[in-house]
């Protein structure tokens, strides 16, 4: 099947390029204000456009611990076409039609073409996920889920990992398809589980816990825990942090800092106030980080900067991944 998108790499992000900063190595993938998929070093000194033909309905997923990425585009009202690309070269590896509203995780069990697919109809996946050879489209098996409360990622060794957002229970499934509970997340009092990310080493979690405050604004911060939920500690303490990401070497954790929702509306009817949205990163062992403010130097946190298409030192808010 031919590719839906024609991708090109600029020389600034060639596979042989070296990271500029040891403190924040690798490449940041993000959607810019024009919808393009861009890859940049965290400090913004080297950047390039992977694709400039993306509209708001196109979805991006990072696969294989950053070695691949997938581009989803609607083919019809019932079908999407997913194109899988090599991260280092941006070359198309293959593409396949999947049901609309399908999420992909993987690869599984050491097979580079085997992935877990979950298709959502409205607010449900009907309690089932599908193990599929994505290159050929062959259905290999099914796996039970607990519906939409389950968030699922894949460990580096190919096992399937899930956390139930309501109960906090953590479970792992292997090639036999059987779930085995290994622990539990325990949010602090009055907080609920938001999004979470596995470290690249597969031994830790970065989790956002949040709540709706008295004026109706959702506020959250980032916590870190071992993979079984033990040893939990609070990374940030500012209530405007969400969507955590691990650096490629797991030494730093990035997160979105978004003050817009807490400053605009929420009973203030706008009030002429404006907030900011960007991504920052801190050492993974930091605790209680606060006082982050746009365009202000911070003793612990550093902001992602981009320089694609002539935008020097601009802030980014829609990050897809932080990879090698």
Distances (CA, A) of 118 to 102, 132, 146, 153, 304: 5, 10, 12, 12, 32
β 47-51/59-63 pair status: unpaired
Percent of the chain with pLDDT over 70: 86
Q: What is the pLDDT of residue 262?
A: 54
* Mean pLDDT, rounded, for 12-41: 64
- Token pair 């706008």 is found at 270
Q: Exposed, middle or buried, 271 (CB in 10 Å: 0-12/13-18/19+)?
A: exposed
**pLDDT tens track for 251-291:** 999 999 988 765 544 444 444 345 788 899 999 999 999 99
Three-class HEC string of the chain: CCCCCCCCCCHHHCCCCCCCCCCCCCEEEEECCCCCEEEECCCCCCEEEEECCCCCCCEEEEEHHHCEEEEEEECCCCEEEEEEEECCCCCEEEEEEEECCEEEECCCCCCCCEEEEEECECCECCCEEEEEECCCCEEEEEEECCCCCEEEEECCCCCEEEEECCCCEEEEECCCCCEEEEEECCCCCCCEEEEEEECCCCCEEEEEEEEECCCCCEEEEEEEEECCCCCCEECECCCEEEEEEECCCCCEEEEEEECHHHHCCCCCCCCCCCCCEEEEEEECCCCCECCCCCCCCCCCCEECCECHHHCCCECCCCEEEEEC
Q: What is the pLDDT of residue 313?
A: 63
Token readout for 148 is 């939409």
Q: What is the pLDDT of residue 130?
A: 95
User: What is the distance between the alpha carbons of residues 175 and 173, in angstroms, rounded to a whole number?
Assistant: 7
Residue 180 confidence (pLDDT) above 90? yes
**pLDDT tens track for 71-105:** 999 999 999 999 999 888 889 999 999 999 999 99
- Mean pLDDT over each residue of the chain, to the nearest integer: 84
**pLDDT tens track for 159-171:** 999 999 999 999 9
The contacts of residue 14 (CB under 8 Å, 6+ apart) are none
User: What is the distance between the alpha carbons of residues 2 and 93, in angstroms, rounded to a whole number?
Assistant: 10
What is the CA 67 to chain-centroid distance, rounded?
Answer: 14
Q: Which domains does the chain have, with CATH numbers?
A: 11-100+185-323 (no CATH), 101-184 (2.40.10)
**pLDDT tens track for 204-253:** 999 999 999 888 888 999 999 999 999 999 999 999 999 999 999 999 99
Lowest mean pLDDT among 99-113, 204-218, 298-312: 298-312
Q: What is the pLDDT of residue 49?
A: 82
**pLDDT tens track for 137-158:** 999 999 999 988 999 999 989 9
Distances (CA, A) of 157 to 107, 173, 228, 282: 9, 11, 16, 27
Lowest mean pLDDT among 63-77, 132-146, 294-308: 294-308
Q: What is the pLDDT of residue 309?
A: 55
Q: Confirm if 222 and 243 have CB atoms less than 8 A apart.
A: no
User: What is the distance between the alpha carbons of residues 113 and 255, in angstroms, rounded to a whole number?
Assistant: 30
């Amino acid at each position: 099947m031919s590719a839906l998108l024609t991708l090109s790499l600029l020389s600034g992000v060639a596979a042989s390029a070296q990271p500029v900063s040891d403190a924040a190595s690798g490449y940041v993938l993000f959607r810019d204000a024009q919808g393009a998929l861009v890859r940049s070093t965290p400090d913004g000194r080297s950047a390039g456009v992977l694709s400039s033909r993306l509209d708001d309905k196109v979805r991006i997923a990072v696969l294989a611990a950053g070695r691949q990425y997938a581009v989803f585009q609607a083919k019809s009202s019932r079908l999407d076409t997913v194109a899988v690309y090599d991260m280092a070269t941006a070359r198309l590896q293959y593409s396949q039609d999947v049901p609309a509203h399908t999420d992909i995780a993987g690869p599984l069990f050491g097979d580079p073409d085997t992935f877990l697919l979950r298709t959502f109809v409205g607010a449900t996946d009907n309690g089932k996920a599908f193990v599929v050879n994505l290159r050929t489209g062959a259905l290999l098996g099914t796996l039970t889920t607990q519906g939409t409360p389950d968030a699922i990622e894949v460990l580096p060794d190919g096992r399937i990992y899930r956390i139930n957002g309501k109960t906090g229970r953590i479970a792992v499934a292997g090639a036999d398809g059987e779930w085995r509970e290994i622990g539990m997340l325990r949010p602090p009092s009055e907080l609920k589980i938001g999004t979470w990310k596995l470290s690249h080493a597969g031994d830790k979690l970065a989790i956002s816990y949040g709540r709706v405050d008295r004026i109706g604004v959702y506020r959250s911060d980032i916590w870190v825990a071992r993979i079984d939920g033990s040893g939990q500690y609070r990374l940030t303490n500012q209530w405007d942090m969400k969507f955590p990401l691990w650096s490629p070497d797991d030494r730093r954790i990035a997160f979105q800092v978004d003050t817009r929702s807490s400053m605009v509306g929420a009973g203030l009817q706008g009030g002429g106030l404006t907030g900011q949205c960007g991504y920052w990163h801190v050492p993974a062992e930091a605790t209680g980080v606060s006082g982050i403010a746009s365009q202000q130097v911070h003793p612990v946190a550093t902001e992602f900067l981009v320089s694609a298409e002539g935008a020097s030192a601009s802030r980014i808010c829609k990050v897809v991944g932080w990879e090698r």
